[in-house]
Structure 1
């Protein structure tokens, strides 16, 4: 998941970001409501974590502004303001969930996962992201660190399969079946050749590698460390 944390308590924000990172999620942070509004309107997030008591634009006003602008990204209030009327007000403002401070990170994570699952049912995946690598499945466009990368159709299909299976070792047989639709071994180095070409485009021009060879097993794509 890619998550935006709008929280003016830097200690709390750092704690949440650290926990999410350990779980393999990406998180941006801003301490102000205005910053949250700008980021939520200009970037794509799976879930928003918002404090109610924010400097400038408060959390309630932030969520109301997002909903009035047609932004439907799921939002959870994480706040010390916890009366019944406060929770009702937050949900009626457009939030999807409400969690009181102090909180357990495990519960926050469970609620974030639940919100993401709920919306994923209604959301077709059109953009794949792994670290700073992004693939637009509709526009057939690939970028890394904001730089556009030109791929041939088979290279695009190979990268898509790797990205959809990030962190998973994919064997040569799996790649032949899913990318080339070969259900037999053609006795060629077609996989190795295309992986090498792909590396020359998405790895070598950058500071860190994302496609790794697992000796004797296959290949795995992971976010750059």
Structure 2
């Protein structure tokens, strides 16, 4: 099961994520509302645990925007505002699938996450394949010559763009515009570092070639 936890309190987020991982769940963390929305657009999550009080974009806004998607993830609203009126508002007006107030018992959180995952319809897998690399967009899984490879959301997104280019170069500007924040300093090494880590995880040193003046292309 793949879970996205949108929680800006770093210690709480790490605690929840660690507990869920011990329950055999794959967990990604978003520290702001806009990051949570971007990650949901890049990957298919079985459940989104969404704090209402997030920076940049509130959990309420994220919930409303995700409900416009064709296949939004089931949303468990997690918040300190646990009155009856707040619960009704979250479920009825915002479209959340479940609502859990803070503080909460961790075993109840796990039970609610699993229940949401069971109720959610399972869409057919969308798989991209190229030169022995298989990328399952629905399950957020990657296999290289049959070997499972664990990627971060950004590494996954970069690999998807390279596979879709079918050996043609993808420019640095295209990667930044599609995957990173538009305000990213163009001089930063973030893209180069991500590509370097991705190259290492693919297990072939020259799997991704950097063409001077062109960008990056997949050529295993």
TM-score (norm 2): 0.58
Match of 1:2 in 2: 2
Uncovered stretches (5+) of structure 2, i.e. residues with no partner: 128-132, 161-200, 205-220
Asked if 2 retains the 8 angstrom alpha-carbon contact of 1:50 and 1:76, the reply is yes
Aligned-pair RMSD on alpha carbons? 2.8
Greater shift, 35-44 or 108-117, is seen at: 35-44
Structure number, greater radius of gyration:
1
Alignment of 1:88-103 (within 5 A): 88-92=88-92, 93-103=94-104
What is the alpha-carbon distance in structure 1 between the residues aligned to residue 126 and residue 108 of structure 2?
28
- Alpha-carbon displacement from aligned partner over 1:101-145 (angstroms, at most 9, x marks no partner): 1011111000000000111xx3245269xxxx966499xx84435
What is the alpha-carbon distance in structure 2 between the residues aligned to residue 136 and residue 41 of structure 1?
14
Structure 1 residues 69, 204: closer, same or farther in 2, change over 3 A? closer
3-state secondary structure, aligned to 2:49: strand
Structure 1 residues 86, 127: closer, same or farther in 2, change over 3 A? same
Asked if 2 retains the 8 angstrom alpha-carbon contact of 1:21 and 1:27, the reply is yes
What is the alpha-carbon distance in structure 1 between the residues aligned to residue 134 and residue 106 of structure 2?
28
Match of 1:17 in 2: 17
What is the alpha-carbon distance in structure 1 between the residues aligned to residue 56 and residue 15 of structure 2?
23
1:31 Cα offset (Å): 1.2
TM-score (norm 1): 0.57
Asked if 2 retains the 8 angstrom alpha-carbon contact of 1:127 and 1:134, the reply is no
1:76 Cα offset (Å): 0.3
Uncovered stretches (5+) of structure 1, i.e. residues with no partner: 149-202, 207-225
Alignment of 1:126-141 (within 5 A): 126=125, 136=136
Q: How many residues align?
A: 144
Structure 1 residues 32, 205: closer, same or farther in 2, change over 3 A? closer
Alignment of 1:61-140 (within 5 A): 61-92=61-92, 93-119=94-120, 122-124=121-123, 126=125, 136=136
